[in-house]
Amino acid sequence: ASITNVIGNPLEIHLAMFLPTLLNQATPEQMDRFFTPSWDLEIIGTYAQTEMGHGTHLRGLETTATFDPATQEFVMHSPTVTSIKWWPGGLGKTSNHAIVLAQLYTQGKCHGLNAFIVPLRSMGTHMPLPGIVIGDIGPKFGFDAVDNGYLKLEHVRIPRENMLMKYAQVKPDGSYVKPLSSKLTYGTMVFIRSLIVGNAGIVLSQCCTIAIRYSAVRHQSEIRAGEAEPQILDYQTQQHKLFPLLATAYAFLFAGQYMIDTYNRISGDINQGDLSEMPELHALSAGLKAFTTWTANTGIEVCRMSCGGHGYSRSSALPDIYVEFTPSCTYEGENTVMMLQTARWVWTLHPSTPLLPTPCFPGTPTLVGEVKNERERLVELAAQSIQQESARGKCQEDSWNNSTIDLVRASDAHCHYMVLKMFRDKVDQIEDPGVHSVMSTLAHLYAIHGMGNFTGDFLQAGVLTGAQVPSVSKCLKGLLAEVRPSAVLLVDAFDHHDKMLNSVLGRHDGNVYEAMFEWARSSPLNRTEVHESFHKHLKPLQAKL
DSSP track, 221-279: S-SSTTSPPPBGGGSHHHHHHHHHHHHHHHHHHHHHHHHHHHHHHHHHHHHTT--TTHH
| Cβ within 8 Å of residue 411, ≥6 positions away | 287, 290, 339, 340, 342, 343, 346
Nearest to 246 by CA among 284, 280, 201, 288: 201
| Cβ within 8 Å of residue 201, ≥6 positions away | 249, 250, 251, 252, 253, 254, 255, 256, 292, 296
At 533, the amino acid letter reads: S
| C-alpha span between 135 and 138 (Å, rounded) | 9
Name the binding residues for FAD: 50, 89
Q: For residues 115 and 21, is the Cβ–Cβ distance under 8 A?
A: yes
Residue 6: strand, helix, or coil = coil
| C-alpha span between 143 and 8 (Å, rounded) | 6
DSSP track, 179-216: -S-GGGGGHHHHHHHHHHHHHHHHHHHHHHHHHHHHHH
Catalytic residue, chosen from 12, 332, 370, 389, is: 332
| C-alpha span between 203 and 205 (Å, rounded) | 5
Establish whether the linkage from the previous residue to 485 is cis, with ω within 30° of 0. no
| C-alpha span between 193 and 271 (Å, rounded) | 20
Rg (CA), the chain: 27
| C-alpha span between 35 and 295 (Å, rounded) | 36
Name the binding residues: 50, 89
Residue 368: strand, helix, or coil = helix
Q: Establish whether 332 is a catalytic residue.
A: yes
Distance from the first to the final alpha carbon of the chain = 64
Q: Quick one: which H or E segment has residue 543?
A: helix 539-544
| C-alpha span between 185 and 282 (Å, rounded) | 12
At 298, the amino acid letter reads: T
Q: For residues 163 and 103, is the Cβ–Cβ distance under 8 A?
A: no
Q: For residues 402 and 394, is the Cβ–Cβ distance under 8 A?
A: yes
Q: List, by residue number, the catalytic residues.
A: 332
